[in-house]
Amino acid sequence: MTDFSTFSLDEKLLQAISEQGYETPTPVQQQAIPPLLKGRDVLGVAQTGTGKTAAFALPILQIMSRNRAQGRRVIRALVLSPTRELAAQIDERFAAYGAHLDLRHRVIFGGVSQHPQVNALRRGIDILVATPGRLLDLINQGHIDISKVEFFVLDEADRMLDMGFINDIKRVLRVLPEQRQNLLFSATMPKSIADLAGSFLKDAVMIDVSPEEIMVDRIEQKIMFIRKADKRRLLVQLIEEEQVERALIFDHAVDQPR
């Protein structure tokens, strides 16, 4: 059985991993951590909940802690995430894994005042987690310099494109230094993601831990064509007749369930 010590991680990282209750690496961690520690670019197909944040955060923390930058802190690792919620979660993971390391991290996103974010950036950070819009805003205002970035992570790439961030991503890529290590993670790999990956990944290691489709033979599907006015009555009748104890009901309106 593989454990995290097989990756030759720093003792301080192993301590933090143990404090998180982790014992055995997940498949995405087993496949991604070794090539990342060797400096390879990685293209990963993995869904949320597979442990992919640790798969890229641990190698980044390991390399950065071993190769400390001299002088004032500059942004050495940049993680792009599509939403503020996901960005905040990634930042929390960096905080947990790097709890015993002398590395500073910060998350920035829109929808809130930029002033606390700018103040933190002025004090110097090593790792920045950001949503594309706020990142570009602060770059354009001169508050962020990503010219020294050594690690670039594009997380949830398929959601990024679904949300219309492709042009923002391209703008960020144009500002990044040529020499850097790149990581792209996506739950799916349509042609648009493959094309994007091919535009900036170099000789990338491909890992795929996407789940196989499972046919569930215990689910019976039916469709009923009814009048709108009869929906509620027939739903109650169906639940009572079938003696349904638990049900999941989807409705297209939040404020006016029918």
Domains, the chain, with CATH or none: 4-208 (3.40.50.300)
Query: What local confidence, expressed as pLDDT, does residue 252 receive?
Result: 60
Q: Cα torsion at 37, 44, 186, 170 (round to 10°)? A: 60
Judge contact between 129 and 93, C-beta under 8 A. no
Judge contact between 207 and 46, C-beta under 8 A. yes
Beta carbons within 8 Å of 10's beta carbon, 6+ residues apart? 62, 65, 66, 101
* pTM: predicted TM-score of the whole model, two decimal places: 0.81
Query: What local confidence, expressed as pLDDT, does residue 219 receive?
Result: 65
Q: How far apart are CA 45 and CA 72, in angstroms?
A: 36
Average pLDDT in the chain: 91
Judge contact between 250 and 231, C-beta under 8 A. no
Query: What local confidence, expressed as pLDDT, does residue 215 receive?
Result: 45
Mean pLDDT of 118-139: 96
**Hey, what amino acid is at 2?**
T
Q: Where does the pLDDT of residue 258 fall: very low under 50, low under 70, confident under 90, or very high at 90 and above?
A: very low
Count helices and strands (H / E) in the chain: 10, 7
CA-based nearest residue to 2, from 178, 15, 22: 22
pLDDT in tens, 182-196: 999 999 999 999 999
Tokens linked to 5: 């010590």
DSSP H or E segment with residue 153: strand 151-154
Mean pLDDT of 138-162: 97
Query: What local confidence, expressed as pLDDT, does residue 67 receive?
Result: 86
DSSP secondary structure string, 165-215? -HHHHHHHHHHS-SS-EEEEEES---HHHHHHHHHH--SPEEEE-PPPP--
pLDDT in tens, 27-73: 999 999 999 999 999 999 998 888 999 999 999 999 999 987 777 89
Query: What local confidence, expressed as pLDDT, does residue 47 receive?
Result: 86
* pLDDT exceeds cutoff 90 at 234: no
Q: E-strand spans in 5-145?
A: 42-45, 77-80, 105-108, 127-130
CA-based nearest residue to 197, from 178, 169, 222, 164: 169
Q: Where does the pLDDT of residue 217 fall: very low under 50, low under 70, confident under 90, or very high at 90 and above?
A: low
Q: 72 versus 217: which is more confidently predicted?
A: 72
Query: What local confidence, expressed as pLDDT, does residue 222 receive?
Result: 76
* pLDDT exceeds cutoff 60 at 125: yes
